[in-house]
Structure 1
Amino acid sequence: MTDQSPDKTIAINVLSSLDQVTAEDWDACACPEAAGGGRPHDPFTTHRFLKALEDSRSVGTGTGWDPRYLVAEMDGKVIAVAPMYGKSHSQGEYIFDHNWAHAYERAGGRYYPKLQIAVPFTPATGRRFLTRPGFEATGMSALIQGAVQVAAEARLSSLHATFCTEAEAIAGAEMGLMRRVTQQFHWINRDYADFDAFLASLSSRKRKNIRKERARAQDFGGTIRTLTGDEIKPEHWDAFWVFYQDTGARKWGSPYLTRWFFDIAQEVLRDDMALVMAERDGQYVAGALNFIGRDVLYGRYWGCIEDHPCLHFEACYYQAIDFAIAEGLARVEAGAQGEHKLARGYLPVQTHSLHWVADPGFADAIARYLEAERDAVDQDIEILTQYGPFRKETREEQQ
């Protein structure tokens, strides 16, 4: 398959494994900012992260996430890539289209399989159309045209790119895709010197409540530590796997990640992670896993084997804020959903996705729905922000 640019021919290849593209070529597009040894903007589209999902069989046969990685080449040089998957369900995406699937199938259509450009099981905003510097417009155009062509030729119902950047969403809409706006809750670092400085920006009642929650959490009878890099040991994953299984079973029916993923993560991803572990009487009783980006801390998983008041808030939200302040990170993304995060300093922000639907009538119905949804999300964000925990003066400074 080829896409004709004005003066060059671009070849689009669909790969079933990352073994078919070198880490150097992939990462030259996914995280060129890390070429000198620094951190990528986020680790989720790096070759090492996606390959860990693949090698651990968290994606692949039987998971409903079948790799269909897109690679665009010009004159034999990789200029753009995208993590694309064939999906037989809508689990692990966090931009929900279950109602679309039900409506289409009630009308006699077949919604699955579909194509998804995404990082599996990861509701974190980042680039999805990954281009080598200097090929941004050409590469993104080639990837979108290639993905639509793959979907159309296979007679699939739809193509989706989830948790893309706002800039990608705007560019994709200009190329004919439908743009969707949803929301998450993020904590923003206003150059706070420490946690107390953050608390000082809150209303008195919210400030007292957070101090009370932190005190209750710390009173569980043990210690809480945040581990990174070589501080993370295999035994920590033995404990965290138990936490993760419990949470996965309650939320999704079964965990998305395999046990093997955490073994591979210990080898290739531990520098990308901040693992919060709560220990009592020599036993780990709770934990929260975060991933570290260049400017952002991404909260991902939480679990426990004992229930203690406020320990979830401490491990997932307050320890994350502490870490972000200490490391000079700009924000904390606390994952999908959760208006309870608002009272803890996490404010609503827009998240973005792009969609292509083959059936013209169905596409028209979705487009109308998305327009109304965007207005509702914008209103919701405006209202929730006004109910945030910050002092009136602080809110005015932030606007």
Structure 2
Amino acid sequence: MGYQTEFFNSLSHISASQWCSLNTSGTPFLSHTFLSLLENTGCVGDETGWQPHHMAVFDGDKLIAVVPGYIKYDSYGEYVFDHGWANAYHQHGLAYYPKWVNAVPFTPVTGPRFLLHPDYDVTQLTLYVAEQIKCQLPDIVSSAHILFPPGATARQLEALDFPRRYSVQFQWYNYDYQTFDDFLQALTSRKRKSIKKARNQLAQQGVTVERKTAENISREDIAFFIRCYQATYLKRSGHTGYLNEAFFYQLAETLADKLLLVVASTSDGPCASALLLFDEHALYGRYWGALEDINELHFECCYYQGIEFSIENNLRYFNPGTQGEHKLIRGFEPVFCNSCHHLFEPVFHHAVKDFLHRETPAIAGYFKQATDVLPYNDKAKQQLNVFTNSSVDNDITTTTTEN
């Protein structure tokens, strides 16, 4: 094809305008601004375990593809868990790290991973990028991993010998609700009463919650959020979080129109805060922290306020983050997510391929179990994505049927 491939250790080598011409998704996480912030504030690079190693493809002087990538020295902040693979390498005297991941750091949100020029054939350009990954990376890393690509990309990569791994997340969908009470009416009577009771208990304890966006988010608000975020991370994980103060301050300065800040207060003042991002289609959560342990406050700030915001702004869905079966009983439906993997050691590549083939039915079974406990009433279930099959990847259905 006559294309040229280059790798860069910083997004500064690619202009924002060039990047924007390829990034048509609209999601804030794939913006030049968001990814550059991670680099410029030191959240990736140096000793973070995430060394930028981005791919760019040129047709002459014309940039036709960019692939955000990172050389990884551990598996933290990815949300696709491969520690067992790393242990198997170690047991056989091989090094699993460093590896290369095509991902948005610390962000388990499905979205385009290969940003391709709209004037070029998507299939052919995807094939070229996949082949370049196989050819250019084996000398410096053990393996290549594409994390949270859309289903269509995952299917293409699977056909190119990047075996697909399935996982399950939980998302809330907006079925043209006009109010939060409309959403509650779609639930079973028992669950509807449970949510109302939990929200009323917070009010009775004097807890108030405020949502702020854009210019209404002050520097003081961000400072309080950071305090909550770091305190909660320190309590749970022994460190103050993957993202630092500089990142959050600059995020509020550069992407304010994409931010939703939720602040909870008692009579003593602010006590908790959640920070979410949104675009014209969806709300994404969430960074969270609290200075007080108040029952149900986490669910109010991180889930119910997000649902209300999504309804008020006609957003199609709300992705609250990875894991957490407790989301199910609050109306979040299971959805399949993808990752694709190519290990450069043939024996291990085939072993992982076999493992994923055997793992898939278990993931499908978990999905089915999650579906069975959704709290929607019979009438509402007739329109749910999970039941109409619009959110279910037909490929996994085929795979599990064959097994």
For normalisation by structure 2, the TM-score amounts to 0.92
Within 5 Å, give how 1:176-195 maps onto structure 2.
176-195=161-180
Structure 1 residues 125 and 92: alpha-carbon distance in aligned structure 2, compared to 1, 3 A threshold: same
Equivalent-residue separation in structure 2 for 1:74 and 1:282 (angstroms): 61
Within 5 Å, give how 1:245-394 maps onto structure 2.
245-254=230-239, 255-281=241-267, 283-394=269-380
**Contact preservation (8 Å) 2:232, 2:291:** no
Match of 1:126 in 2: 111
Equivalent-residue separation in structure 2 for 1:249 and 1:170 (angstroms): 39
Q: What displacement does 1:252 show?
A: 4.1
Q: What displacement does 1:115 show?
A: 0.2
Other structure's SS at 1:164 match: coil
Within 5 Å, give how 1:1-399 maps onto structure 2.
5=1, 9-31=2-24, 40=26, 42-135=27-120, 136-154=122-140, 156-254=141-239, 255-281=241-267, 283-398=269-384, 399=387
**Contact preservation (8 Å) 2:310, 2:318:** yes
1:212-238 Cα deviation digits (max 9, x unpaired): 111123334242111111111111111
Q: What displacement does 1:75 show?
A: 2.1
Structure 1 residues 216 and 23: alpha-carbon distance in aligned structure 2, compared to 1, 3 A threshold: same
1:237-286 Cα deviation digits (max 9, x unpaired): 11111111123224443210111101211211111111111123463210
1:51-91 Cα deviation digits (max 9, x unpaired): 01111100010101000111111121111111100000000
Equivalent-residue separation in structure 2 for 1:227 and 1:116 (angstroms): 34
Q: Which runs of 5+ in 2 are unaligned?
A: 388-403
Match of 1:37 in 2: none
**Contact preservation (8 Å) 2:252, 2:259:** no
1:124-153 Cα deviation digits (max 9, x unpaired): 111111112122233322322222223213
Equivalent-residue separation in structure 1 for 2:33 and 2:133 (angstroms): 23
Q: Which runs of 5+ in 1 are unaligned?
A: 34-39
How many residues of Structure 1 are paired with residues of Structure 2 in the alignment? 383
One-letter amino acid of the structure 1 residue matched with residue 14 of structure 2: V
**How much identity, in percent, do the aligned residues show?**
38
What is the root-mean-square deviation in Å for CA atoms of aligned residues? 1.4
Structure 1 residues 250 and 158: alpha-carbon distance in aligned structure 2, compared to 1, 3 A threshold: farther
**Contact preservation (8 Å) 1:218, 1:311:** no
Structure 1 residues 347 and 195: alpha-carbon distance in aligned structure 2, compared to 1, 3 A threshold: same
One-letter amino acid of the structure 2 residue matched with residue 244 of structure 1: Y
1:169-201 Cα deviation digits (max 9, x unpaired): 011111221111101010011111111111111
Q: What displacement does 1:377 show?
A: 1.2
Equivalent-residue separation in structure 1 for 2:383 and 2:314 (angstroms): 20
**Contact preservation (8 Å) 2:4, 2:59:** yes
One-letter amino acid of the structure 1 residue matched with residue 155 of structure 2: I
Structure 1 residues 70 and 218: alpha-carbon distance in aligned structure 2, compared to 1, 3 A threshold: farther
One-letter amino acid of the structure 1 residue matched with residue 216 of structure 2: E
One-letter amino acid of the structure 2 residue matched with residue 23 of structure 1: A
Equivalent-residue separation in structure 2 for 1:278 and 1:397 (angstroms): 33
Equivalent-residue separation in structure 1 for 2:106 and 2:12 (angstroms): 21
Equivalent-residue separation in structure 2 for 1:85 and 1:382 (angstroms): 34
Other structure's SS at 2:138 match: helix
Equivalent-residue separation in structure 2 for 1:101 and 1:175 (angstroms): 23
Structure 1 residues 111 and 252: alpha-carbon distance in aligned structure 2, compared to 1, 3 A threshold: farther
1:76-111 Cα deviation digits (max 9, x unpaired): 111111110000000000011111111111121100
Equivalent-residue separation in structure 2 for 1:218 and 1:140 (angstroms): 52
Other structure's SS at 2:29 match: coil
One-letter amino acid of the structure 2 residue matched with residue 22 of structure 1: S
For normalisation by structure 1, the TM-score amounts to 0.93
Other structure's SS at 1:241 match: helix
Q: What displacement does 1:388 show?
A: 0.6
**Contact preservation (8 Å) 1:248, 1:256:** no
**Contact preservation (8 Å) 1:114, 1:151:** no
Equivalent-residue separation in structure 2 for 1:378 and 1:92 (angstroms): 24
Equivalent-residue separation in structure 1 for 2:70 and 2:57 (angstroms): 16
